[in-house]
Amino acid sequence: MRAVFINHCHPDTSHVCALRVTSFAKVLASQGHQIILFSETLSVTDPGQDPATLAGELSGHDWATPFVVAVRPAADPLLPRLRSGRLPPVVRQAVIAGYYLFRSGLFGDWRRAAVPHLTVISRSFRPQVIWASFGNSDVWNIARDLSAIAECPWVADIKDNWQNFIPYGLRKLLSRRYHDAVAMTTFSNCQRDEAAQWFGQTKSTVYSGYDLTAADRSTVTDSPRFKLVLTGSIYSRQHLQTISDALASFLRAHRNFRKTPMLFVYAGSDGAQVSDALRTLGDDCEQQIYGYLPMDDLRHHQQTASLNLYIRKPGKFIFHHKLIELLAAGKPILCFPEEIDEARRIADEVGGVLYSCATQADIKAVLTQSMDREASAGMNRAIDTYSWQGQSVILEKVLADARRTPCR
């Protein structure tokens, strides 16, 4: 299969926005498919792929790995200021509405710059199918452009909820512009349900996963201390404070931590807020605050945790990929606020231990219970289904079926 995967974030971006499409591109390439991974450049100073040399580079590529086509956005006097919030509020709202109505997106500078690359890809690569992951609507606009040039079908992927990114009043209008996608994949079942409000295509859930080849715990030595690992964004300062208050109450009830301080590790983009919230815990709790960690380092912390934690962003249609990563680590997990049914079902299905907490008292009770029990969650190999390799089976079938579907 010759496929073009389109994602806004460059594959080397140190953010979860690059993870899904990049990971599936690598897995499918390793399985013998020829994959072009199309993105924006990593930085504005990166000149990006030269369309004049693209055909030659494609012909000489080793397709055991994806071929990355990174395109630097064209110069634009308005869009960078719009996206960075440097326009007055009233002007900003008018410009947003105008760009969505007349150009279907806010990254038209990237879309314009992509045109010569799409022409070369169409002629030299001759794609059979396109998979484009929604993080902004211009990802889908570029997919439609390439689909028209190459006369091949495209599949829309819902990674981020439509209603959270498209302004109210424009959601239905804009969704109709993507009727030509022959199928749709979604990040979770709950996001499949959200997408059903706007899109009529047949939908298949393809979960974001973890690397099956790197998840082995057989050589991992557990931490000798009671170790808590909080992963990802905090979303709500109030929810973070609830966890901090529960920790403080727990530590007051277990003074033995004065001899061997509890270890609290945080990895994510909100380190300053986490450090501030935990400042009252004192010497009973040693803190290690990190930003985005390399995946191997993050996995090590998660696999050696006594308890893994994450804060759930509230919402009916919100599913957190970090749940699957944490289940793969094989240790008990504490989530606050409470998780949705879909997440609890997956944890039960793979034999994971997921504590879904609603109150500060719930959190404290889980901390106490976790301190008194073995950290192993007794995982079974059902978790393999949720790896990148396991989920690629679903994606591969969706794309294979799409190849046989005429362009709309």
pLDDT at 378 over 90: no
Structure confidence at residue 307 as a pLDDT band (50, 70, 90)? very high
pLDDT at 297 over 60: yes
181: nearest Cα among 134, 125, 115: 134
3-class secondary structure, 40: strand
- Map tokens 């879909």 to a residue: 342
pLDDT of residue 259: 72
Structure confidence at residue 398 as a pLDDT band (50, 70, 90)? very high
- Map tokens 């804009």 to a residue: 174
What tokens appear for 139 in the block? 């990802």
Structure confidence at residue 260 as a pLDDT band (50, 70, 90)? confident
- Summarised one tens digit per residue, pLDDT across range 89-129 is 999 999 999 999 999 999 999 999 999 999 999 999 999 99
Rounded-to-integer distance, Cα 370 and Cα 194, Å:
35
pLDDT at 213 over 90: no
Rounded-to-integer distance, Cα 27 and Cα 37, Å:
12
Mean pLDDT, the chain, rounded, equals 93
pLDDT at 130 over 90: yes
Structural domains of the chain sorted by starting position, each given as residue range(s) with its CATH number in brackets: 2-209+388-403 (3.40.50.2000), 213-385 (3.40.50.2000)
Percent of the chain with pLDDT over 90: 81
* pTM, two decimal places: 0.93
Which DSSP letter does residue 168 get?
T
pLDDT of residue 346: 96
In this predicted model, which residue has the larger pLDDT, 282 or 166?
A: 166
What tokens appear for 88 in the block? 């007055």
190: nearest Cα among 325, 344, 395: 344
Backbone angles phi, psi at 270, to 5 degrees: -115, 35
Across the range 134-148, mean pLDDT stands at 97
Query: Percentages helix, strand, coil for the chain, rounded to the nearest 5?
Result: 45, 15, 35
- Summarised one tens digit per residue, pLDDT across range 161-184 is 999 999 999 999 999 999 999 999
